[in-house]
Chains A and B, each alone.
Chain A
Amino acid sequence: MSAILGRLNAGWYAILLCFPLTLLLQDSVQARLTYREGQTALLSESVFPTLIVIAMTAAWEGGRLAGGPVSMRSAVRSPLAVVGLSTAPGVVSGVAGHLAATMLSLSDAKVAPPLPSLRLYLGFVVVAWSVAVISWLVGYALDTVISVPLMAGAVYLGMIWPLFTGRIAFRSLLAEHSSCCSIAQEVDWRAVLAPFVFGVGLVGVGLAIAMWVWRPMRWSGLMVAVAVLVFAGGLAMPALIANRDQVQARDMDALVCKQSSSSSRLYCVWPEQDADLDALVREGDATLNAWATLGLPFAPETITTATMTSGDQDAVAVAFRPQPGRGDIAIALATAVLPEPYTCRDDLMGSYVTLMVWLALAGGASPGDRAIAQFAGMGSASSGPLAVAQARLAQAAELQRTWFEQEYAQLRAGCA
């Protein structure tokens, strides 16, 4: 039966399958190399338009089946079976299209395996299904000319409305789970639960009302009341997480540590990064040794991927993508030892980028390294900061150190 119903809306489903891929091509879907939920977070923007298309498809399908030869009231099949079966192809297409875009994006970023956080992705499925069911019922009740744009608008408003973006929607849950630090954060369980309860409650209300209208039974009124209560519970969930961050710091005891073989330096990473710990130790030691050869004053005792409290001179926090190379680690260390760029005066940003690139190259990174190109935002190797840094590297060590000390002092003065 789903094949028969599916054939009807093949065009819509094709759009749902291809739409996220289109977003991918437009760079609206991006996956930087991150760990855990951060990957899903980066893809959350593309959920927004996908949900709108799912809503339009379901409203269209509901309107189409409303004209069927057998009334829903007199059909033997329950409204739940009809709604479930006819919304399934749209939801599956939307989720499959989005998942394909996600995996392509993650694969392109060399994340293995190229899967988003399934725990959070399930939130997308629940919300997509609730949107589809409600849209189908509206489509069944109203003329298609009205229901399709109405549901597109309703979903749009639902997604941009502060109540939803701020507290309920998994979209905000994910978006606020910033990519750089997601490895050091835990998602608050209430923030995960809220969209689930909200989505299931919304579906429950819709189906209970449908049963009430089409198949009144002794307990129909009670069913609607229970469904409304569950829905209200879903709406109340955000109150529980109001004024709280939707993420919280991870327990530091989970860190996995390893000592450098050539010094007392300690490297610590989260369990998900365990496979990259050896690379961090190897490339970190090599970078810091190269800096020491030049006489640079950076010799932290602890290098960790946990977020550090400010003011700790002996410990630095680094962030890097999976399977890091020399360039990734050198850039990560340079970022950790230089002042925060967003605190610098605008006129110092050029110096900051040049110094960063020079530090990475001095630490042994290759000029053609992708990490350096990405960081500097350069389209080609001949761009400004890289050329300046390479020219400095060609100078005597003493000259380089003198230049560095001047630039570094200037940065420290200009970046609070």
Chain B
Amino acid sequence: MAGKAEVSAYLDLREVSYRYRRSADDVLAITHTFIQGRTILLGPNGAGKSTLLQLCANRIRLQHGAISLRAEGRILQSTTQAYRASVGFMPQHPTFVRGMSVHDQLVYAGWLAGLSEANAHRQATNWLERTNLARHAGKRCSDLSGGMQRRLAFAAAAIAEPSVLLLDEPTVGLDPHERSTFREILMDYNDEAIVLISTHQIDDLDLLADEIAVLAEGRLVFSGEASAFLGLADPDLPVLARAERAYAAAIRRGLAV
């Protein structure tokens, strides 16, 4: 976990709001600064977690407010190419180019992320090793298991070693073994980076999270260190039950305000 004094990377959201066409209300309205380290985004379905990640990733157009990244002494606005080069995104439902091999998929992702072709080849080989997919490099993506596809999608998001890594429900549908493997890969990622992970799984929060952010009805209702989040519930409860209670308490308290 990054201590406050060491923080050197910020993802700053200022008065960011988003509203779907034909919708009367904003699905998201947030002003917050995410710092380096792993932040787990929690919240019920429809709370705005995916919208938040997609806005940060430029997948959907920012309608109001501003998003900027401060890293390595530079401040990058989200509309700039340098910002895009600093952000990697893993969607909730990863898709791949039909017919392309696993290795080529990563090279293509690296090239799109701004790497030179030679560098993309090197990084693809590197990330295939890191995600335990090296022996599947020549296979087509459709021949991979669900867990392998998730790892590949993670590698595609991380191949350019971005300062901001946005993961939208990366372990949904994975068995415990695959989840554990994925967690290890994630823990191995650059400590200096800002990693936002949206999830509904709270059984391994204490292992994974530096920070917890809870969204409800498009608003941030809790933000703090994992220990502070778990402190919302009875400390005598088992870990999983404690996290569940803390989650419920955060939402209840936030919506009551």
Contacts and interface: CB of A to CB of B under 8 A. Distances in A.
A48 to B, nearest CB: 29
Interface in B105-128: 105, 107-109, 111-114, 117, 120
A69 B156 contact: yes
A4 B104 contact: yes
Interface in B150-175: 152-153, 156-157, 160
Contact of B57 (A1, A65, A74): A74
Interface in A213-236: 216-217
A69 B117 contact: no
Contact of B85 (A4, A8, A76, A82): A76
Contact of A4 (B58, B61, B107): B107
Interface residues of B, number: 34
B105 A69 contact: yes
Interface string B34-71: 00000000000000000000000111110000000000
Nearest to B84: A76
B177 interface: no
A216 B87 contact: no
B100 interface: yes
B99 interface: yes
A74 B84 contact: yes
B98 A70 contact: no
A8 B104 CA distance: 10
A73 B57 CA distance: 9
A65 B97 CA distance: 6
A217 B58 CA distance: 13
Contact of B94 (A1, A69, A76): A69
A203 B109 CA distance: 25
Contact of B95 (A7, A69, A216): A69
B189 interface: no
A68 interface: yes
A69 B96 contact: yes
A64 B87 contact: no
A69 B98 CA distance: 11
Interface residues of A, number: 20
Interface string A69-101: 111011111000010000000000000000000
A70 B100 contact: no
Given A8-B97, A77-B114, A69 B104 contact: no
B99 A8 contact: yes
A67 interface: yes
Contact of A76 (B61, B100, B113, B153): B113
A1 B112 CA distance: 10
A4 B100 contact: yes
Contacts of B109: 68-70
B107 A73 contact: no
B81 interface: yes
Given A1-B111, A4-B107, A4-B108, A74 B95 contact: no
A67 B81 contact: no
Given A1-B117, A74-B89, A68 B57 contact: no
Contacts of A4: 100, 104, 107-108
Interface in A29-72: 64-65, 67-71
Contacts of A76: 81, 84-85, 112-114, 160
B223 to A, nearest CB: 25
Interface in B128-187: 152-153, 156-157, 160
Contact of A74 (B87, B94, B153): B87
Given A4-B100, A70-B109, A216 B114 contact: no
Nearest to B94: A69
A73 B59 contact: yes
B142 to A, nearest CB: 11
Contacts of A7: 104
Nearest to A82: B112
Contacts of B160: 76
Nearest to B107: A4
A216 B84 CA distance: 14
Contacts of B58: 71, 73-74
Interface in B71-104: 79, 81, 84-85, 87, 89, 94-100, 104
Contacts of A71: 57-59, 89
A220 B135 CA distance: 45
Contacts of A75: 84, 112-113
B107 A1 contact: yes
Given A4-B104, A4-B107, A75-B113, A70 B156 contact: yes
8 contacts: A1-B117, A64-B97, A69-B153, A70-B108, A70-B113, A73-B61, A76-B112, A76-B160
Q: Nearest 4 A-B pairs (CB), nearest first?
A: A76-B114, A69-B156, A75-B112, A70-B112
